[in-house]
Structures are given as structure tokens and as C-alpha cells.
């Protein structure tokens, strides 16, 4: 593992333990070059997933991007970081076990919408405003009306 401080190629694992969510291994490492200590996380990856964007561009699935977009939607809401990690892990697992090596950004957005709907209605609407590309206040009103109807049912 390359040292983030000096770029040295070798480091020694000083401590390993499961992370809080149990989906990864947390490792404390020490660089053999500069002696600096840093933490890495190791996760199981079942298959490489490529994301097909709406403009035709293709890129590798990045968990960090997904996590960041969900965190933005959940900002200042009563949602714990662990809930976000579980949601992201669930979505990633669904993508990796789907049997498809390529998924669309819209499919990922749909999975996020499904997850946020059960987690928090405000985060759900926030994410939807970007995902569904709301352009007018009327769009928010109509969508919020459907959320309220679902909540009453």
C-alpha cells in the first residue's frame, strides 16, 4: 500500500479489525519509508461495474461518489452515518450481484430513491430534486404531494 505522506511503496500492517458496519476491514498501517501511520479500509468487491451516463459516457462505479451524493441529500437530517453506509453497501451489493457488468446512472438513481424513501422523506425529496431535474417550484409541489400520499397509505 502506497504511503499517502511520502509515496513509499511498502507499509506494514500494525492492526486489523472489522469496521463499525462489519462490511469492511479497517487496517492501521505504518510506512516503512517515513514511519507515518495511516488507516485503510478493505471491502469485498464481487465484480467491476461500469456506469453508463445519460450523455453516453461510461465510467467505473465509484462508491465514494454514491456515498457523497446521499450524504448531501441527508445533510442536517436525523440520519446516522451508519445508516448511510448501510444504504450505500446495499446498493453496491445489488449492483454487483445483478449479473450485469454495466448499469445506467438512472438505475442507480432509482435504487437510491427506493432506499431514501424508507429512510427520510426530506432526504428523498432533496435527492429527487436533482435526480428528476426539477426546474420549477410546481415540480416540487407535485412531487411532494405524491410523497405525502405514500406516507398516509
Q: What is the pLDDT of residues 89-115, one digit of tens each?
A: 999 989 988 888 999 999 999 999 999
pLDDT tens digits, residue range 41-60?
A: 887 766 789 999 988 999 99
Sheet holding 50-52, edge to edge: 58-60, 50-52, 102-104
- pLDDT recorded at residue 149: 54
- pLDDT recorded at residue 152: 45
What is the per-residue burial (b if ≥16 Cβ within 10 Å, else e) of 7-42?
A: eeeebeeeeeeeeeeebbeebebbbeeeeeeeeeee
Amino acid at each position: 500500500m502506497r504511503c499517502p505522506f511520502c509515496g513509499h511503496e511498502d507499509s506494514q500492517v500494525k492492526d486489523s479489525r472489522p469496521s463499525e458496519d462489519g462490511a469492511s476491514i479497517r487496517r492501521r498501517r505504518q510506512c516503512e519509508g517515513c514511519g507515518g501511520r495511516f488507516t485503510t479500509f478493505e471491502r469485498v468487491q464481487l465484480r467491476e461495474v461500469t456506469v453508463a451516463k445519460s450523455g453516453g459516457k461510461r465510467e467505473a462505479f465509484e462508491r465514494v461518489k454514491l456515498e457523497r451524493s446521499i450524504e448531501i441529500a441527508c445533510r442536517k437530517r436525523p440520519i446516522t452515518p451508519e445508516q448511510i453506509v448501510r444504504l450505500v453497501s446495499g446498493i453496491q451489493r445489488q449492483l454487483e450481484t445483478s449479473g450485469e457488468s454495466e448499469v445506467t446512472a438512472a438505475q442507480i438513481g432509482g435504487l437510491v430513491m427506493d432506499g431514501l424513501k424508507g429512510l427520510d422523506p426530506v432526504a428523498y425529496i432533496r435527492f429527487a430534486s436533482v435526480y428528476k431535474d426539477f426546474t420549477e417550484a410546481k415540480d416540487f409541489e407535485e412531487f411532494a404531494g405524491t410523497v405525502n400520499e405514500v406516507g398516509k397509505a
